[in-house]
Amino acid sequence: MFTSRDRILTTHTGSLPRSAELTELYARRAAGETIDEARLDALGKAATRHVIRCQLESGIDIGNNGEQQREAFFLYVRRRMTGFGGAWTRRPMADTVKYPGYMAWQADHEGSRKVVSNRGTLPAANADVAYLDPALVQAECDEFHAALRDVGGKGFAEAFMTAPSPGIIATAMRNEHYDTEDAYLAALGAAMRVEYEAIHKAGFLLQIDAPDLAMERHCAFQDKPLGAFVDFCEKVIDTINAALVNVPRERVRLHACWGNYEGPHDCDVDLQDVLPPIARAKVGGWVLPFANPRHAHEYRCLSNLPLDDGQVVIAGVVDPLTNFIEHPEVVADRIERVAHVVGDPSRVQAGTDCGFDTSAGRGRVAEDVVWAKLKAMSEGAAIASKRLGMQGQDAPARRPM
């Protein structure tokens, strides 16, 4: 994983805004309609180039393809794996049920636009789960390489690609086939290993998206003891570690969060309760949210996250759920707080709490504001770099793509 002693590097969590036409096609296909697949493919490829340019213009050092060729950060796997079918609806989040007024507002808001739902009409595992063909993920990797070449210029310091945790698939696409949840997790881990290894072999940094390691406490495990949820987190981490057997630790970062939705979040599990299993992941970095109002104070927990050689913290210093553009000084303050707890600013990178459009159409931030927020993050990182005594802020080394 690329690090720098010269300045705080900037990155983000993965998904970036999709165009209205691209979103509509994904939403229609998710609803079971027949669409123009060639048109979808062309739009996805054009959108990938667009978001690469915008990331570079915003000052992002470690960027990605914005997940433009996927309908959602985890639901796309139903098109790359066997074993999924039928439909079911996820139970509401505990904090949603707690506030009926908010629940009504949320239903009204989401009912007014085309979206790919990550809660309703989800498929379930009703047969053996297996990866269909490595060529499916390889095609996305090849397209990302092609887009990077087409955009040209100095490019990113490093490029990453995302893939979901077996845990979020297991909880969101429930088991209706395997005798035990452990067996289902193992099958998912074996299937996702194909993607993890393909992304690594293509030369990209792998980011594993695991909101299940925090969010599922107030979703699938809301009526169960905390210990049962921590046990689940332990099993997920074991599954991830097994799937990463052929991927070097330093080429992986893990993202955990409490769900990418604007809500009360007062039923969220505390970071200190889930940090021990999260810390067991064999990864080179942790992507954690510290910009949102519910968890901004939990950067202090990082004192309990031991960092080995080369490991980093990618701190969320920008909120992807509000159209407020963070002032660069605010971003700098957030970075500095994390750096002081970690003890070494070269172990800290600046990022976003979560993605800006994790399921097509669900993003809450206007596209032009997204790029302004990322630019403010870059400016804030430069301010923090100077205050933290880092040198040579304008010239980080770059990993060849």
pLDDT tens per residue across span 138-196: 999 999 999 999 998 889 999 999 999 999 999 999 999 999 999 999 999 999 999 99
Taking residues 332-355, what's their average pLDDT?
Answer: 98
The answer on pLDDT for 304 being more than 70 is yes
Distance CA 374, CA 70 (A): 22
The answer on pLDDT for 396 being more than 50 is no
What pLDDT, in 10s, does the model give residues 60-95? 999 999 999 999 999 999 999 999 999 999 999 999
Q: What is the mean pLDDT of the chain?
A: 95
The answer on pLDDT for 221 being more than 80 is yes
pTM for the full model? 0.96
Long-range Cβ contacts of 394-399 (<8 Å, 24+ apart): 394/7, 395/6, 396/2, 396/4, 396/6, 396/7, 396/9, 396/61, 396/157, 397/2, 397/4, 397/157, 398/2, 398/154, 398/155, 398/156, 398/157, 398/158, 399/2, 399/157, 399/158
Please name the amino acid found at residue 63.
Answer: G
What pLDDT, in 10s, does the model give residues 127-141? 999 999 999 999 999
Q: Could you tell me what percent of the chain has a pLDDT over 90?
A: 90
CB 103 within 8 A of CB 93: no
Distance CA 263, CA 9 (A): 30
pLDDT, position 108? 83
pLDDT, position 70? 97
Q: What secondary structure letter does DSSP report for 91?
A: P
Smallest CA-to-CA distance from 302 within 263, 343, 255 is with 343
pLDDT, position 398? 43
- Three-class SS of residue 164? strand
Contacting residues for 367 by C-beta, under 8 A, at least 6 apart: 17
- Three-class SS of residue 159? strand
In a 13 Å sphere around the CA of 161, the CA atoms on its Cβ side amount to 26
What pLDDT, in 10s, does the model give residues 223-247? 999 999 999 999 999 999 999 999 9
pLDDT, position 399? 46
